[in-house]
Structure 1
Amino acid sequence: MKTPRIAAGLLLLASCAAHAADWSDTSLSYRYGSKFSEPYNGADIVKHVVNFSHVSGYKYGKNFFSVDYLISDENDPSAVGSRSGAHEAYAVYRHTLDLGKVTGRAMAFGPVRGVGVTAGFDINSKTDAGYNSKKRMLVLGPTLMFDVPGFLDVSLLALHESNAPYNGFTQTATDRYRYDTHAMLTAAWGIPFMLGVPLSFEGYANYIGTKGRNEFGGPTAVEINVDMQLMYDLSAAVGAAKNTFKVGLEYQYWKNKFGNPARTVPGATARTPMVRAEYHF
């Protein structure tokens, strides 16, 4: 089955579920960091990132959609010889079907409150001097939902990924290349707590297996991507409803970015502190 057809089906499922949403949260956010990194680029890169996210729950599960728009400085140029920075859009969609709600049978055990199946996709498009990524990825696998304040979901997903980059240095295009299907162990969480003021610990962590040879015949490496945020809910201080305005600090550790081995590829590991602000509606 073709990737666009599967993606269209998942979008249709998301649309149907959204009409019957029991709850939802939509947000706009901004984050800034000066220590971003890109494979084959050894420089520290400044990026401004604007994000739109939506999460909703309905009778049988939940949906999550997020799109980042990333704007780099001149250290990640938009074209060969350009003084302007690259632009990238990266979209993620996940749908988790709660098997206990579907079957009407409790599936809790130990610290786990529920079991589900997660499906979705990643799509990106970047305009830069070198790679010009056009990633397409489908994901599918089981999810454990833990009984914690807020949420903690852990999934083991199969990834079916492809790309069709364009090299700006050599001006050559690569036909869409499909990597080996590979696994990702992933966790996503949002844990509220009080420490004199309302705070939350949020983020995700991905451990991604190797995906065979890349489109140029080189090896790929295990990828680790951890993104953590400590957020302060300042809504009460400005007379707004709870969880309307948040500000905080974020840190991302990304080793072997996109599967590029850091031992041979400069810039393949990023350690990026950021500041973050969110508006929820």
Structure 2
Amino acid sequence: MNNLLQTYLKNLAIMNILSLLAFSSSAQTLWSDNSMSYLKNTSDFELLGNDNVNVMTFEHVSGHNWGDTFFFVDRTTASSDAKNGKFNSTYGELSPRLSMSYLTNKEVTFAAIKDLYVASTWEHNTSNDNGVGFVFNNYLLGLGAAWDISGFAFVNTNLYHASNDKTDNDIQLTLSWGYPFSVGEQNFMLDGFVDWSSAVDDHSADFHFNPQLKWDLSHNFSKRKVMELGIEYSYWHNKYGINGLDNQSVVSLLVKLHL
């Protein structure tokens, strides 16, 4: 219990520090993007038995002189056949990272690494499955890195210790990337993430691979990226740490509006 409390307090401290930095007089926002996305599945979600899943996502990403921030909220509504009923959830993550270069006032860069970070994430979920509520808050703290890899707009890695609300604590490795490319005069983006969490006493290791391929439709009529169309593929092995349940391999249609 003491270790869990200490980890919880450390995560809260990091998040509070980053929040204060964002509003300090010396903090600068270098770039930012806000977007709304809609996803519609083209196949069933095995664990829930849902054949009609709709996901609305608000997403914010920004770069600052002190580090970077990624935030999103998913609102999922799902309906299915008579035996499975309805499922609704709101899930979000807040992931600020504090730059070591900013902390030390010296560039922390070597080889392909552009910078190192104190990385933190707060995961929150509120869901209702056929009238049964489920809420959790997980707090993650670790070391992050930004990588300079030719052709990629960004490549980031984070290695966390996760203080989990409903399960035993574990280790999580997250990789995210963005690769822009063109075909003729049309612009595309292949981006996404990979999450891997370690096995512990009460759950198995799980692996989530989630790429998106998007076409910049607005490039044909606007200098600013406004609308993207594409697909998302979600593969989740041992989802929720349930051993042997390859319960998610789903392609969804995607519409994304940049605000």
Aligned residues: 248
TM-score (norm: length of structure 1): 0.80
Q: Unaligned 5+ residue runs, structure 1?
A: 164-178, 214-219
* Pick aligned residue for 1:182 from 148, 164, 170: 170
Hey, what does 1:24 align to over in structure 2?
A: 32
Confirm or deny that 1:210 pairs with 2:199. yes
**Deviations 1:200-243 (CA, angstroms, capped at 9, x unpaired):** 11100011112322xxxxxx111000100111111122x22332
Taking a change above 3 Å as real, the CA distance of residues 145 and 159 of structure 1, as seen in their structure-2 partners, is same
Taking a change above 3 Å as real, the CA distance of residues 50 and 8 of structure 1, as seen in their structure-2 partners, is farther
Work out the CA distance in 2 between the residues paired with 1:260 and 1:253.
14
Confirm or deny that 1:226 pairs with 2:209. yes
- Three-state SS of the structure 1 residue aligned to 2:236 is strand
* Pick aligned residue for 2:226 from 244, 248, 255: 244
- Give the counterpart letter for 2:206 in structure 1: E
Work out the CA distance in 2 between the residues paired with 1:235 and 1:33.
24
- Give the counterpart letter for 1:186 in structure 2: T
Taking a change above 3 Å as real, the CA distance of residues 278 and 7 of structure 1, as seen in their structure-2 partners, is farther
Contact 1:34 1:44 in 2 (8 A): no
Work out the CA distance in 2 between the residues paired with 1:211 and 1:51.
31
For residues 1-281 of structure 1, the aligned pairs below 5 Å read: 1=5, 10=15, 13-14=18-19, 16-17=21-22, 20-37=28-45, 39=47, 41=48, 43-75=49-81, 83=85, 85-129=86-130, 132-148=133-149, 149-163=152-166, 179-196=167-184, 197-213=186-202, 220-237=203-220, 239-262=221-244, 269-281=247-259
Contact 1:26 1:52 in 2 (8 A): yes
Work out the CA distance in 2 between the residues paired with 1:135 and 1:111.
37
Contact 1:14 1:63 in 2 (8 A): no
Displacement of 1:5 in angstroms is 10
Displacement of 1:150 in angstroms is 1.2
- Give the counterpart letter for 2:22 in structure 1: A
Displacement of 1:74 in angstroms is 2.4
Q: Structure 1 stretches (4+) deviating beyond 3 angstroms?
A: 1-9, 11-16
Work out the CA distance in 2 between the residues paired with 1:117 and 1:5.
11
- Give the counterpart letter for 1:37 in structure 2: F
Work out the CA distance in 1 between the residues paired with 2:122 and 2:109.
27
Taking a change above 3 Å as real, the CA distance of residues 5 and 96 of structure 1, as seen in their structure-2 partners, is closer
Displacement of 1:45 in angstroms is 3.0
